[in-house]
Structure 1
């Protein structure tokens, strides 16, 4: 059984919903999850209470609430050090709380908490225990676990896993484009070795970097190995080198990506994909509508 840390590498949401104002979804490895706000709602508590619990689990597990939840986690055969999976979704990075953790915390609030009103937690615990948490989330998200993962998701996931070792004080164009690529796949755009948006973005950003002499402002960029999956024709060339940039310039890049690339350059890029049949025109229009609206990246959603 893979640990949370192992499963966290490159995981992203491939199905999600907010039915009944309850944010939930399924990760690319099939793990059903609730967000922090989703779990707080079924437990009938403030989301800050759940957020504090999962972020400071190393401290919380020795307190009365944590001790009891730890026992329930053990009963769920859950032994990882973290209570969440760091994943990416349509609005950026977030904490995905896996099914075993959700059920253990919900059971605590339903039967062991000293809260005066446990009815919300008890009602939701009965619902989820009756149908199974996994089946409930799969049904709400219209997710079919027997359906083979789309080739585009697979290609994207493989690239993420192969290129997850960027030095902490640098950022890569490919990893920064994860949310854009996820939206492209959801919008119907086929992602394969002929559709590699980070190459287009990387070339234009590189020129912008040089023109503005950002080496002098943020430090020198450098080349770093980039590997393509075997299913990509580019893999025949072996290991490539791509520019990575000082982390101090990350805010500048994200501002440029939204204000210049997505607004001015990306429509032209998409048009070439429509011409080549990688995406149909109506889906391209919807995709632009999503990406040209500034999103929010939140760890407590």
Structure 2
């Protein structure tokens, strides 16, 4: 994942660095039927596969769990194969005991579910955490330093919260229609620039979409096209593009009633000759996104408490 040097999950250290906020715990349903389950969302962050099942259960895939535990993928497979043995191995007893102490239980170690044409081995968060704790402290000579470091960062509900954050899933349902405010702005402005001109809002759609997918609450306090527009305007003046591509001009940009900015509608905003569109797109990728301006913008949001660090890092990697 490309970002400003900090990684939430490292490729080499295999350790979680930053955590999402805590949320209320959720137990595994022991008799959950596999036929009723599907995968609602998934993500792969630095080789750690994770997702959310259709009933809201967060999970790690087999390979991702193995990486966090610091063991070979086959070792997690052995645990699954032995989960319901009539004479369980000591490690199965130990893992199930850890689960019980946490107030959870599961009749299966994982769910094997088809998704995007591939069979996924999905280990519910509580099962994953019990296995991680086993390899951290209870596996004797097989205890792994990676497991110990990761468990200390993911104990309690933190693993669940991290998965929800990375896949952009809201277990409360409060932001179920997270695209609504963005769609309101599109409906008001998609044809507002005059013929032969483009405006930054429409050109910023990819970044805005990726932010929403990453879990950012895009609304009246999160208007990234303003940041892009300000930087592009200064770039335009600095290189005297009026003389190269023709003069830019103002157009009326409107905000939805849900935004406080709507009180001063219409807002005058710059639009630019279409002949400069290619140059703008190169500048957006090379200067704004990869040149550090986008990272600075997101860091400001994190500092003001308007964006979780995990979403900021995920977004930087996705867009870059």
Q: Which has the higher helix share?
A: 1
- Please indicate the TM-score interval, normalised by the length of the shorter structure: 0.3 to 0.5
* TM-score using structure 1 length: 0.47
TM-score if structure 2 supplies the norm length?
A: 0.45
